[in-house]
Structure 1
Amino acid sequence: MNIYSKYHVSRVINASGKMTILGGSRVQDKVIEQCGIGAGNFFEVKDLLDKTGEYIANLLDVESSYIVNSASGGIAQAIGAAICQDNYQKIMNLYDPTNNKREVVICKGHNVNYGTAVEVTMRLGGAKVVEAGYANECTLDSIKACINENTVALLYIKSHHCVQKGMPDVQEFIDLAHAYDLPVIVDAAAEGDLKKYYQMGAECVIYSGTKALCGPTSGLIVGKKSYIDLIKKQYAGIGRIMKVGKENIIGLTYAIEEYMNQPQLTIEQQKDRLKEFNHLLNQLDGVQAKCVQDGAGRPIIRSEITFTHQDAKKIAQSLKTGEVHIYTRDYKANLGQIEIDIRDVDDEELMIIYHRIQEILEA
């Protein structure tokens, strides 16, 4: 009996990308093996976190790093660190209403829903959320107007979910924060460059362990040692609730090492993988398929499929039914388009997607 039959769940083809609702990404056998080694042995967990953090920091050539339970947990603890610093009383009383110095500024266009609202995660970390600008525009002056004596940090969300136009770029955002002696927290959960935002000067940058890194459920924080030392102190408070298991600490560390040592597919290689798939789709009546790059500027190529005769939203929903549930990127379905992300789709699954689309159109 396979796992799907045993638990009465459906097989899924994940053509939507590194999505938490589908489990993030495929974890490779070598990483799973390392998770097993971690699970089968005992460690002093604080020491394990410190030593793996040092190992990863040396690997990435950054000041410091720290493994947490998830990117969301990392954001909450990073905000808690900005509020509490090394004050144990504040760490143990994070939500004390008499402490007004807890404001965190975020561009309004960055306060998005990624499965929950960013502001929920911010408030979990103790923040009073201060939105700067408007949904479609946030200037540096808008951010400056929000900074006062109660501001403890600025938070930048680097995500395809966010409004891309009319927002400050990361560097000018960081420079502005530093002009006011404020730390910058960058949520780069799905990003693949583990050095870029650190090198721009951000105090801490937070990544998902199970997205681009293809590791187990976890998160990675890289940044300045002084700030990550403050984040570690949150383990006495909310960090304890967000603990990460020893198996995932070992597994993620190995996954990062593999990620840094293995070349990623180039833009052209990704296009080549989609060439035959797009060609077949373009033979179908009322279908136009072409390669497009990720809207947030990441080096990711997807197939953009436009349906001119049928409702793309209904097609996307139909793909999620049947023996195999196929998940696509549906953000532009209201415009008649869906996208196919091939990072966790093998060639056989790609043909299953094609044949299923063909069946739906011909039904």
Structure 2
Amino acid sequence: MKLSRRKMIRILAGVPLLGGLGILGAGGCASTGQLSRNLEKRDLFEELGIEPIINGRGTLTYLSGSLMQPEVVETISATSTRYANLNEVQDKVGSRIAELLNCEAAMVTSGAAGALTLGTAAAITGTDEELIRNLPDIPGPRREVIIQKNHRYGYDHAVRNTGIKMVEVENAREMVQAINDRTVMGLFFNAAAQFGGFEHNIGHEEFVAICKRHGIPSFIDAAADVPPASNLFLYTEMGFDLITFSGGKAIRGPQSAGLLYGRKDLIEAAKLNHSPHSNTLGRGLKVNKEEMFGMLVALELYLEKDHDAEWNQWLDWNEQIAENAKTVPTVHSEIHVNDGPANHFPDLRLSWDQTQVKITPDEAADALSKGTPPILVSSRGDSLSITVSMMKPEQVNIVARRVKNVLEEAV
């Protein structure tokens, strides 16, 4: 008699020996993969032909941002074995995060980009169920978000997802004139001046003051703006109504997680625009319970960390790489600390006399990227720039040796 697969599984489930061997998964379904391999030893990088890299460029999303702390990984694993109501998890995790950040309310989002969408949605809809259901196609005139012209950036697409119109202004006078009954929010890109090489035409305090005077929420995007850890508190103290940071950069939480925090009424409205609520703009921006718990633990660890010791460790790693490189004639090293607010790390910059070491920084970076393992660093015109902050301790020697070899071969 031929047994169906389903009937066979039911029979096997009743056999103590096989059940003890873990043929059935925790949910009652057959874990057939466990019959043929030990998943703990399975290397999916090797199996799928994906080559791990050494990240010498920093917290770039396409390079996986950062690596989660071991405690965060353990948290994700430990919380994955039980069910919970996602609304309750979000509320209680958010409440704990708000305590840590000395603010009214907080929530975990799908990265800082998800926070931008949800925060804007909250400013548009409040708790109005009809608006929430219909966003971005809501009745009436198109809502507007005010932004400084030189603050426009690719990530404001996440704000535009809500259907708003971006209104660009050049200065405080224009900002005041632009505010009308369609204005729902003011958006401040914190790193705009850093990346653009200019001063903010409207500074933080003035921007907040104008928003408050006219009764519109102010939202600051500070996604990559730790370290220092004090920035997590600075913008609340300045009076911004909404703040977002990435969870998967220097905080070293899940790469797909972010923080949205600030005014309680806006955070509650953001939750209503978010998963698990089904008929919402944010349904596709869902965050699972494991990420929420993991983000909380990552933030706790980050706030408890000895940041001075970590900074000194980065400086030591830079010195280790520099000393190896400087055994090659004419190689010079310097530490460059980005003023921030984004990517405020001590980077190592190496330069050399290219008439003696016959390779350009571009070529050196390319050679490092083609080695085994690939090492990704930056080329900045006349220098090679290496960011050590996202490296593992055991990778520093590898980088030091490989950089030296690439330069030596060019002599």
State the alpha-carbon separation in 1 of the partners of residues 48 and 396 from structure 2. Answer: 25
1:276/1:210 CA distance change after superposition, 3 Å: same
**Whole-angstrom distance in 2 between the partners of 1:229 and 1:154:** 19
Provide the secondary structure at the position in 2 that maps to 1:238.
coil
In structure 2, which of residues 181, 188, 198 is the aligned counterpart of residue 165 of structure 1?
Answer: 198
User: Is residue 279 of structure 1 aligned with residue 328 of structure 2?
Assistant: no
Does the alignment pair 1:150 with 2:196?
Answer: no
Structure 1 residue identity aligned to 2:212: H
Per-residue CA deviation, residues 288-319 of structure 1 (Å, 9 max, x unaligned), is 32111124246521112335524323332332
Residue correspondence of structure 1 range 1-363 to structure 2 within 5 A: 2-96=43-137, 98-112=139-153, 117-133=154-170, 139-159=171-191, 162-167=195-200, 168-192=202-226, 193-216=231-254, 217-235=256-274, 236=277, 237-265=280-308, 267-285=311-329, 287-297=331-341, 299-309=344-354, 310-330=359-379, 333=380, 335-361=381-407, 362-363=409-410
Amino acid at match of 1:45: L
* Deviates most, 6-15 or 153-162: 153-162
- Quote the Cα distance in structure 2 between the aligned partners of 1:132 and 1:338: 38
Separation in structure 1 between the aligned mates of residue 87 and residue 69 of structure 2, nearest angstrom: 26
- Partners of 2:323 and 2:207 lie apart in 1 by 43
AA partner of residue 273 (structure 1): W
**Is contact 1:80-1:125 (8 Å) kept?**
yes
TM-score by length of 2: 0.79
% of aligned pairs identical?
A: 26
> 1:215-250 deviations in whole A, cap 9, x for unaligned?
112111111112111111212412211110111111
Q: 1:338 to 1:98 in 2, by over 3 A?
A: farther
Q: Report the Cα distance in structure 2 between the residues aligned to 1:265 and 1:342, rounded to whole angstroms.
A: 15
For 2:351 and 2:177, the matched residues in 1 are separated by 43
Count of residues in Structure 1 that have an aligned counterpart in Structure 2: 351
Q: Considering only aligned residues, what root-mean-square deviation do their CA atoms show, in Å? A: 2.2
Rounded to whole Å, the distance in 2 between the matches of 1:289 and 1:110 is: 34
SS at match of 2:220: strand
Shift of 1:142: 4.3
In structure 2, the gaps of 5 or more residues are 1-41
Q: Is the 8 A contact 1:110 1:156 kept in 2?
A: yes
Amino acid of the residue matched to residue 169 of structure 1? G
For residue 232 of structure 2, give the secondary structure of its aligned residue in structure 1. Answer: coil
Give, in angstroms, the shift of residue 76 of structure 1.
Answer: 0.5
| Residues 144 and 288 of structure 1: CA distance in aligned 2, closer, same or farther (over 3 Å) | farther
- Measure how far apart 1:110 and its partner are: 2.4
Q: Which runs of 4+ in 1 moved over 6 A?
A: none
**Compared CA separation, residues 283 and 67, structure 1 to 2 (3 A):** same
Residues 75 and 125 of structure 1 are in contact (CA less than 8 Å); yes or no, is this contact kept in structure 2?
Answer: no
Deviation digits for residues 64-113 of structure 1 (CA, Å, limit 9, x no counterpart): 1111121101101111111122222221221227532421122233222x
Residues 145 and 336 of structure 1: is their aligned pair in 2 closer, same or farther, counting only changes over 3 Å?
Answer: farther
C-alpha distance in 2 between matches for 1:239 and 1:120: 14
Q: Match for 1:62: what amino acid?
A: C
> Which amino acid is 2:169 matched to?
A
1:353, CA displacement in angstroms?
Answer: 2.0
Q: Which protein shows a greater Rg?
A: 2
Matched residue SS, 1:324: coil
Structure 1, unmatched stretches of 5+, are: 134-138
Q: 1:136 is matched with which residue?
A: none
Distance in 2, matches of 1:337 and 1:176, equals: 43
The CA distance in 2 between the partners of 1:191 and 1:44, in whole Å, is 32
Counterpart code for 1:147: I
- Which region of structure 1 is more displaced relative to structure 2, 55-64 or 353-362? 353-362
